[in-house]
Amino acid sequence: MGLIQAVSGAVGGVLADQWKDFYTVPAGLPATAALFAAVPQGTNAGRGSNTRGSSNIISNGSKIVVPEGYGLLLMQDGAVTAFVAEPGGYEWRSDDLNSKSIFAGDGLVDTLIKQSWERFKFGGQPGSQQAAFFVSLKELPDTRFGTQSEIYWDDGFLNTQVGAMTRGSYTLKIVDPILFVKNFVPASYLQPGQVFDFTDMDNAAAGQLFNEVVGSLAPAFSLYTNDPGKGNRITKIQQDSVGFAKSLSDAVEQAYQWKSDRGLVIAKTAIVSIEYDANTRELLKTVQRADALSGARGNSNLQASVAAGMQAAGENGGAAGMMGIGMASGMMGGLGNLQQPVAPAAPAADDPVAKLKKAKEMLDLGLITQADYDALKAKALGL
């Protein structure tokens, strides 16, 4: 009892011509459709057209075509009697010893489905009539999120709490259709003609998912920005759709058990905007300035500043003005030790030796010319 696989993999016109009628995915579905009833389709003078209404009840000998990217669930009285995740053509037989109840495929679906199958499978003798439903195994796009006010989290790089409003979208993936249908989909969607769509504004279950995602954004930002593997940089989030998706999916799983209870995960994200609050914007500006002035770039900025100061001093006070700039430059070199008490230096006007020493240092550094040094030397010695 169960399903017999007539052909695996892609199914084309040859099988459709062989089978005069069969059940498959309805036409015209939105890209975000997650669950819907199978529909009967005829192949006479119009392959793919629905010729028998929307009833999804199959019986002994019914043919079913499972397209790529979809899973097939057969149910009786709310219990799962069969599941297929492998594309191909199948025939339902209630009396064939070679039939199977599960075609789980490979990889992640295989592992998860087999666990759920053992947990939820039908325990008695399946009847002759089964209700057939399809579940999308593709990434379901364009589920949007956004915050109406700032959310706050502790940022590992900035070492403080930061806040922002954000909006974007994410893709959902059903990794365990049995869990998804048994634990999450309302019974009203397990009817012919109904489509469970994550973007349907009237879908209360989908609305609940939206609220849970918004409630998980702050923990997701915290997980991402405190992950050393991400460099602890909040500014990388908008460039790392997969990395942030994992953080968001982990946060949702920790709070609401999407994967373990509902068979759902967030596959990818696209953050459209992050609008930081005023305090965070000022903090980021300070960090950016510190980054810009670090290392070789900082030395270049300092040299440019000294050069500009020397030019201004030369225009206003000649060599004496340049002498003052040199002394200021020397003071800047000691800024790193400001926390240590420093004895006040004697006024330069009373110490010609100190003046000459400073002038010689400036000459050696290339900050003044030999002529400037000679003029300062003559002035200091009263010549």
pLDDT of amino acid 195: 95
Whole-angstrom distance, CA of residue 227 vs CA of residue 250: 13
Residue 94 neighbours by CB under 8 Å, 6+ apart: 1, 60, 126, 127, 128
Among the ranges 6-10, 164-168, 239-243, 295-299, which has the highest mean pLDDT value? 164-168
* pLDDT reading at 340 higher than 50: no
Residue 173: strand pairing partners: 139, 265
Q: Show the tokens assigned to 219.
A: 């923990």
pLDDT of amino acid 293: 64
50 pLDDT tier (thresholds 50, 70, 90): very low
Q: Which residue is associated with the tokens 């300092």?
A: 302
pLDDT of amino acid 46: 44
Per CATH, domain 139-180+197-286 is 3.30.479: yes
Q: Show the tokens assigned to 110.
A: 């295989």
* pLDDT reading at 358 higher than 90: no
- Mean pLDDT within 30-54: 69
Whole-angstrom distance, CA of residue 103 vs CA of residue 73: 11
Whole-angstrom distance, CA of residue 185 vs CA of residue 264: 12
Residues of CATH 3.30.479 domain(s) within the chain? 139-180+197-286
67, 48 contact by CB (below 8 A): no
pLDDT of amino acid 323: 52
pLDDT of amino acid 255: 95
372 pLDDT tier (thresholds 50, 70, 90): confident
Among the ranges 315-324, 330-339, 345-354, which has the highest mean pLDDT value? 345-354
Q: What is the pLDDT of residues 73-100, one digit of tens each?
A: 999 888 888 899 889 899 988 777 778 8
* pLDDT reading at 122 higher than 80: no
Across all residues in the chain, what is the average pLDDT? 78
- Mean pLDDT within 351-358: 77
Q: What is the pLDDT of residues 194-248, one digit of tens each?
A: 999 998 989 999 899 999 999 999 999 888 888 877 765 677 777 887 888 889 9
* pLDDT reading at 319 higher than 70: no
Phi, psi dihedral angles at 187 (to 5 degrees): -60, -25
Percent of the chain with pLDDT over 90: 29
H helix runs in the chain, sequence order: 13-18, 107-120, 177-183, 204-225, 241-256, 278-292, 295-332, 352-364, 370-381
Percent of the chain with pLDDT over 70: 74
315 pLDDT tier (thresholds 50, 70, 90): low
Q: Show the tokens assigned to 305.
A: 């500043």
- DSSP state at residue 299: H
Q: Which residue is associated with the tokens 């010609």?
A: 352
pLDDT of amino acid 335: 41
pLDDT of amino acid 364: 78
Whole-angstrom distance, CA of residue 133 vs CA of residue 135: 7
- Mean pLDDT within 242-263: 92
357 pLDDT tier (thresholds 50, 70, 90): confident
Please, what's the largest Cα pairwise distance for the chain? Answer: 121
Whole-angstrom distance, CA of residue 112 vs CA of residue 131: 23
pLDDT of amino acid 140: 94
Candidates 146, 135, 119; CA nearest to 181 is: 135
Whole-prediction pTM = 0.67
Pairing label, strands 79-84, 102-103: parallel
Residue 227 neighbours by CB under 8 Å, 6+ apart: 156, 247
Q: Show the tokens assigned to 78.
A: 């709310």
pLDDT of amino acid 66: 92
Whole-angstrom distance, CA of residue 118 vs CA of residue 122: 9
179 pLDDT tier (thresholds 50, 70, 90): very high
Candidates 76, 81, 105, 108; CA nearest to 8 is: 105
